A = this chain, B = another copy of it.
């Protein structure tokens, strides 16, 4: 089955909302509830859910528990996916602790930095190693994803290392473009762009 990338993103978001509602003791949820909580349309929700072959109960909406399971079958692998994070500054810490406590199949299993103060300490529940030991650590960790939250200057150099040692996907928060071979999936996120976008639409509210 091949799903549109945008649907993949939304599935992840549906799951977050669903878990949220499940915790509150809710059992069923309508497409329009799911939609309004994410600023989507009900049609889009139903279409996405159709695409993954899940069928709700007619009058009551979707069975939250079952839908979560189904989304998991799409998004997750049986085994956990391990990630590493590079750069334990404010952003690195924010992301790492944000992940702790979220129950997902993705786990941040190690952090890397150059600051001697941080080396070998456990920060946000993850042990931090020196960046120069990436190679050796990666051999044991079985990590396929790297989250880059380090300063731009060192980013390309580290990226080269990651490529050599079998990282398959990168989430890049540094503001420089990484030069990476095609077979590695890369997702860039730039906060300045997000804010400038908000500013644009605020200033052009027609």
Partner of A197, one of B12, B89, B192: B12
Query: A42 an interface residue at 8 Å Cβ cutoff?
Result: no
Q: A90-B94, A185-B201, A202-B168 are known contacts. Are A195 and B39 too (CB-CB below 8 A)?
A: no
Question: How many copies of this chain does one complex carry?
Answer: 2
Q: A5-B197, A106-B196 are known contacts. Are A77 and B203 too (CB-CB below 8 A)?
A: yes
Per-residue CB contact flags for chain A residues 72-100 toward chain B (1 = under 8 Å, else 0) read 00011100010100000111011101110
Q: Which 6 A-B pairs have the closest CB atoms?
A: A90-B94, A91-B94, A169-B202, A37-B177, A12-B196, A169-B198
Contacts beyond the supplied A81-B199, A90-B90: 11 A-B pairs with Cβ under 8 Å: A5-B197, A12-B192, A16-B190, A39-B188, A75-B196, A104-B192, A144-B202, A147-B195, A171-B194, A183-B205, A185-B205
Interface CB pairs A-B, < 8 A, 25:
A8-B196, A8-B200, A12-B197, A75-B200, A77-B203, A89-B94, A90-B90, A90-B93, A90-B97, A91-B91, A95-B191, A98-B191, A98-B192, A99-B192, A104-B196, A106-B199, A145-B195, A147-B195, A168-B202, A169-B198, A170-B198, A171-B194, A185-B202, A185-B205, A187-B194
